[in-house]
């Protein structure tokens, strides 16, 4: 369960990325921007990237 706004945003972005990749009909530029934002949030929250 998300504790703060950054974690809520991270959860929403991650879910959106998974949905778009599963459907395969996504704008690659949009997908790249979402992944960049996810990486930024992970760095700010000090979560190691797997």
Residue ranges per structural domain of the chain: 5-42
pTM of the model: 0.81
- CA 47 → CA 9, 10, 21, 23, 34, distances in Å? 14, 11, 22, 27, 17
Q: pLDDT confidence of 50, banded at 50, 70, 90? A: low
Q: What is the mean pLDDT of residues 6-28?
A: 91
For residues 5-32, average pLDDT: 91
pLDDT score, position 2: 60
Binned at pLDDT 50, 70 and 90, residue 33 comes out as very high
Please list, in sequence order, all residues whose beta carbon lies within 8 angstroms of the beta carbon of residue 31, skipping any fewer than 6 positions away: 17, 20, 21
Which pLDDT score, from 0 to 100, does residue 25 have? 73
């Amino acid at each position: 369960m998300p504790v703060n706004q950054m974690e809520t945003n991270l959860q929403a972005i991650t879910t959106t990325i998974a949905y778009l990749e599963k459907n395969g009909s996504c704008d690659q530029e949009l997908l790249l921007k979402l992944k960049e934002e996810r990486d930024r949030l992970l760095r700010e929250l000090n979560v190691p990237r797997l």
